[in-house]
Amino acid sequence: MTPKTDLLGHPDLRKVWDVIESNAPTVEWTDVTSQVGQPVTTKRTRPVRRTVALVTVVALVLFAGNETVGVFAARRALAAGPAVAEPPIQLQIEVIDSSKPWPVEALRDLSVNDDGIFAHTETPEAVSEQWQLTDAGWTSLGVDASLVTAGETFNGIRYVAGRLHAGEAGDTAVILRVDPESEDWETVFTVTGGNIAALINVGGQLVAFGHEDGFENLRAWKSVDGTSWTSAEVEQSDSAYVGSGTSDGKVGVAVGYQDGSIPLIERRGASIWLDDGAGRTRPAALPDLGSLGFGYSIGGFRIPDGLEDVVHGKRGFVVYTGYLQVWGGFEGLTLQPREAWASLVLRSNDGNQWTAHVLTDFAVYQMVPFGDGLLAAAALPPDSNTETIEVEGVTTEVASSAVNKLYYSDDGLTWREVTDSPGLGKPLLATTDGQGVVAIDEYAAEDKTKNTTTAYIIRSGE
Amino acid sequence: MGVNDEAIWRKHSGELVRFASVLVGPGDAEDLLSSVVMRVLSSRGSLESLDKPRPYLFRALVNEAKNHRRRSRRAAPLLTEDQYSVELRPEVLEAVMGLPPQQRAAVYLTYWRDLPISETSELLGCRPGTVKRYLFLARNRLKELLSDA
């Protein structure tokens, strides 16, 4: 086949896919069905802690003599003082809907505002649809062609950034706003072929962080009235990617990733940009993540290699990673990638001075402001949900899919499990004024084939 | 098995086996795909019982590929020398195959199969932002090597 886009336009990479596809075997239906009944079985077992212990020991042996030891040493040492140190917290959890009007796993985004609870879905055919949760369940608000990527209220008007899928012409980033008179959505800014990842209300301006060319060329655009937009420079924007941003009104924080000056040799990794309305700069003091034991290098790759999201709560900014992943060597060599089931949290009151902390009990999937603190949907380590798989008479314990639960924190550092937390197969969270939260299940943790979708209202208080 | 299972198989097996080859190599692709289908038949009784067979089977292949890597005492080369021409530099192949399965899958689906990110995220069972992250990481891991060519 002849793809219309290809990675870096390099012929070698096209050859790789071509060679693999040309060597792909032909598998007939009878080849598969003839194996039914042979011993490939799966059954759940009780958690087996020794699996991870063994992995840790093996990893220490494999990686001894280089910085990677620090990853596991740090994780082992920190594991003695778990981040979940306080008793569970009881929140009000109310199931408000268990319907699934959209295709399996089409749910892309949730939002909550004074007008209600909204969901955004997108099908494999790139048809997106907006829904509102009413007494009758999820009600379609219509089909459009955009995927919402960010939103912000500025001067009392709601703005939304999105992506229009334009077929072979590529995607176009747009910023829409609600017209105060007609109450219709109107397009106020477009970036052909671009992407807008964050809309921030800061310093009397509305600032958009994004990329001019797909996910390359990090840029910012700013507007003082929401309709006229100008391009703005971003400090150290080369080889950088921004995925999220937020603001406290005075300072905006955008987070993402950035390569070092020598790709594959030096990765600067996690990156933060500040916006005070006048410029978009780097923080004066970003912690040395290497001091946490997570700044190791094998073959030039460092972790954490990026920051997932940033939220602003009553105790300042909290930036977090999802899973910390430990890279190994190339396939075929001894070192293999292994997952470190932990998250990194950076905290700051002003956006300039940051402290870094490691959460060792779970990996944060999504975090939102909630009341006076933060609520997180987080994945437990895989060893808490192992499977025993028997293949050709050999029994092997492998990590199964993670179980997600809700956790609450006052400060982003110490977390309390939410009592009776829903089994969040693939959760999305949204808040309004830090009080009401909606979480959505896309499938039950114990049986992903169910593909149920459940909405919850979660409120603080016993 | 359902009466429509074979039709579902015929419709999707071509792209599924190519995708499996990308994940674990052509040599193990049949085993990977067979084990996934067998699990579905064991647990659900049929392929037609799946609400959306295509994304379900793609995601199942990715998950099974992770287990495949974990089970492998020592990973064998994904392609043997007789499976690719001398025109393909081994170090490029090694770099691509050295990408974690999710990154490799995201690059393959987005840049070679030419799927929109929304569909790639659907097939990989992750959020579009996660696909973008996979692509960003993969591109930068490959950039230096490819720029030398």
Reply yes or no on whether the pLDDT at A208 is more than 90: yes
Domain count along chain B: 2
Are residue B68 and residue B89 in the same domain, yes or no?
no
Is B26 part of the contact surface with chain A (CB cutoff 8 Å)?
A: yes
Are residue B51 and residue B91 in the same domain, yes or no?
no
Tell me the pLDDT tens digit for each residue of A75-129: 333 333 335 657 888 888 888 777 777 776 677 777 776 677 888 777 666 677 7
SS3 A373: strand
Are residue B66 and residue B96 in the same domain, yes or no?
no
* Partners of residue B94 in chain A, C-beta under 8 Å: 330-332
Are residue B12 and residue B69 in the same domain, yes or no?
yes
Are residue B41 and residue B94 in the same domain, yes or no?
no
Q: Look up residue B49 and give its two tokens.
A: 């019982």
Rounded distance between C-alpha atoms, residue A331 and residue B62, angstroms: 16
Tell me the pLDDT tens digit for each residue of B89-131: 777 777 787 787 788 899 888 888 878 887 888 888 777 777 8
The pLDDT of residue A268: 47
Are residue B71 and residue B9 in the same domain, yes or no?
yes
Are residue B12 and residue B36 in the same domain, yes or no?
yes
Higher pLDDT, A160 or A238: A160
Is A5 part of the contact surface with chain B (CB cutoff 8 Å)?
A: yes
Residue B137 identity: L
- Positive or negative, the CA dihedral A45, A50, A56, A61 is negative
Rounded distance between C-alpha atoms, residue A69 and residue A432, angstroms: 43
Listed residues B76, B101, B136: the one ending a domain = B76
Which of A23-37, A69-83, A432-446 is least confident? Answer: A69-83
* Partners of residue B98 in chain A, C-beta under 8 Å: 329-332
Rounded distance between C-alpha atoms, residue A194 and residue A78, angstroms: 41
Reply yes or no on whether the pLDDT at A62 is more than 50: no
Please identify among residues 310-329 of chain A the ones whose CB lies closer than 8 Å to any CB of chain B: 325, 327, 329
DSSP string for B31-93? HHHHHHHHHHHHHHS-STTSSSHHHHHHHHHHHHHHHHHHH-SSPPPSS-GGGS-TTS-HHHH
Q: What's the predicted TM-score (pTM) here?
A: 0.59
Is B80 part of the contact surface with chain A (CB cutoff 8 Å)?
A: no
Q: At B142, which CATH number?
A: 1.10.10.10
CB–CB contact B43 A35 (8 Å): no
Are residue B63 and residue B96 in the same domain, yes or no?
no
Reply yes or no on whether the pLDDT at A299 is more than 50: no
Are residue B60 and residue B41 in the same domain, yes or no?
yes
* Partners of residue A260 in chain B, C-beta under 8 Å: none
Is A180 part of the contact surface with chain B (CB cutoff 8 Å)?
A: no
> Rounded to a whole number, what is the distance in Å from the CA of B80 to chain A's nearest CA?
10
Listed residues B76, B106, B127: the one ending a domain = B76
Is B8 part of the contact surface with chain A (CB cutoff 8 Å)?
A: no
Are residue B64 and residue B2 in the same domain, yes or no?
yes
Which of A60-64, A402-406, B56-60 is least confident? Answer: A60-64
Instruction: Name the percent of chain B lying above pLDDT 70.
Output: 81
Residue A19 identity: V
Please give the DSSP secondary-structure letter assigned to residue A46.
-
Tell me the pLDDT tens digit for each residue of A258-296: 765 433 333 445 678 888 878 888 887 777 665 554 443
Are residue B71 and residue B100 in the same domain, yes or no?
no
Are residue B6 and residue B58 in the same domain, yes or no?
yes
Angle (nearest 5°) at CA A448 between A458 and A402: 70
Q: ipTM score of the complex?
A: 0.86
Higher pLDDT, A434 or A38: A434
Domain that holds residue B144: 85-149
Average pLDDT, chain A: 68
